[in-house]
Amino acid sequence: MVRKHIITSLFLIVFSLMGLSGVKSNDAPFCRRLDEKATGDMAKYSLHGDANGPLYFSGISCAITHRNKVLCAMEMVSFDTTARVFDYYNGEEIAISKAYFWLDEKDNETPIVAFGSQASADKYKADKGYGVILDYTGLTDRELN
């Protein structure tokens, strides 16, 4: 009986530590505000821009949620004109207004990814077999967590 409790405790500790690592099981970072521009593998999920100062986010969904719920109208305009994302396939920086976004409509924990062209976004969607492709206006109109 004690052995079961020890094994269960170790199991819970390991999974708790996995949650603190800042990386989801699909290698996407947890969506959070950053102190500086994302680099490395995190960049393909990230967004950076300006609204009364620089803004950096590890994920597109938390950046859009911040835009929609925290920024005033003038800050939104600044954000919309300065925000940049990275093409998921080639890492090229893209103005957010020119990007296409894939998101999983059924799982809001799945990271949103950006593409420089509709064709690239459609290819990703076809490879995944699910999801929806949106432009920036469609994305900002969504209620994201």
pTM: 0.77
Pair 140, 76: CB distance under 8 Å: no
The pLDDT tens digits for 33-60 are 999 999 998 999 999 999 999 999 999 9
Q: From its phi and psi, is residue 65 left (phi > 0), alpha (psi between -120 and 50) or beta?
A: alpha
Separation CA 44–CA 57 (nearest Å): 11
pLDDT of residue 96: 97
